[in-house]
Structure 1
């Protein structure tokens, strides 16, 4: 995968840095190391499907939809909720990301919607070049400065979860938003998933010589609801993104941030290679298995989420010492390739 020089600067956690790994940290919609997996479909279709997916239809009046919200530790995370069925699913998900709105009664303990109170989605139009143009009411501008980056991540990752959207353009009261008013984050180009989410830098990486990989670690709230948090980590520049992903999952999360590891540091990888169109195979040693000879369900799902997020492969085949007969701790059979779940983190009230 070729690296292009980034030609724009972006604000990350209040610090402006110039990154040279593929495109602006805000995302320009161009090809990058962390483009979302390619698929086709209508606006309301999720990008991916899975045999291990939550039920799409909650009841006759609602369906499963994903929203991005802030957890108690300040991470932006996806939640899968049963929301009212509508003609425009994408617009509905944004409406349920407004603080103080109808989503409040649906969020697990510790979670908070990021869009400012009173914000209305005036319109959401998707163009032929897969650009979602969102027009907000003026209340959208009344946010806390510390949440500026999180708001942009939540909106962008939420909308690019739909097959028909690759880029996002923001408007307020019909006028293009050129920059965010509080922290002055530039919006001169459309946002894309390549902006990353919950960004951090590996200790041995340099800003000008790095590759971003998005990893799924675990967190839980005060009611023991466990969920995945995506973290975009800048690592030493590499063309082998798949290997970097698994290596970083083994390395684990930043201990200071309170997330839980998904793979043991003793985990060994024997090989990672594409085996067919849209399929990548990861062969672990038997250290992946516990004393019961089962693999952690959390670990397997994290590997699948992380690899499909970063590589563009739609399915992952997991092996242990070359064998595909693997059972997880939740008694799921992983002997066949597994696709990315359409809905992540089904909420438990």
Structure 2
């Protein structure tokens, strides 16, 4: 009798195990996967210049930006898959990530600005698609050592997402790159310089000198900085010779129109000179008006010879003044 009871209990235990084991297995798998989020890391398929994802599990953290930074660091590693390589050049470093609502602001190192056009497009696209694979991120904004990327008009590139960034092999036909320009504006009373470091998207086929002049005419972006050149001024031509003299040919508006009453002629001229002389190939600046050399600028500065950069307006001596 006892033997029958024992067999009955054993049979019931076996049946219970058969019923409960699948449930325990499912529960265990759920517990094992809790605290993880599925994401994607995008790599370059070198055969066709397209991007392809590799699945990645990311530990959910109290600081979501750490999850995004982890994925970015994974982008720089070898995907260990045939035909796939990292889309982030070795010289580019990820400095930080911060989240504002559902936008990730990714700060990269300065070598990013030296990437060739196609390389930059691929790298940027891979970053956007990788970071937006996280549920808490819809948009990505890139900055370079804390400064936002800007286009040729001085406008911030701003937010990017999966709708406006492509991951196929089509690279835009126009050749563009990024650069940090050092632009000289002025303070409120027009007595000295205010220097703005501006990251801009530039056309590689356009002289960097012209881009600098365009940005100066567009005016400053920083608060407390003031323009030095009338917005009506037009650039007729700009050319730098092998001996380092940059010839700046401007419209008559440069002579006839002023940006503000308190901005004197010295500030206007040297804001251009100093900005252009930040370029390695420019040592001096010679002004032309409508293609012609003139003797003086508004009867104040001698325009017959080239100008060199100065450290401060306070250091300018009167040898250039009449």
**Which interval holds the TM-score relative to the shorter structure?**
0.3 to 0.5
Answer with 1 or 2: which has the greater Rg.
2
TM-score (normalised: structure 1): 0.41
TM-score (normalised: structure 2): 0.44
- RCO higher in structure (CA 8 A, sep ≥6): 1
Which structure is higher in helix share? Answer: 2
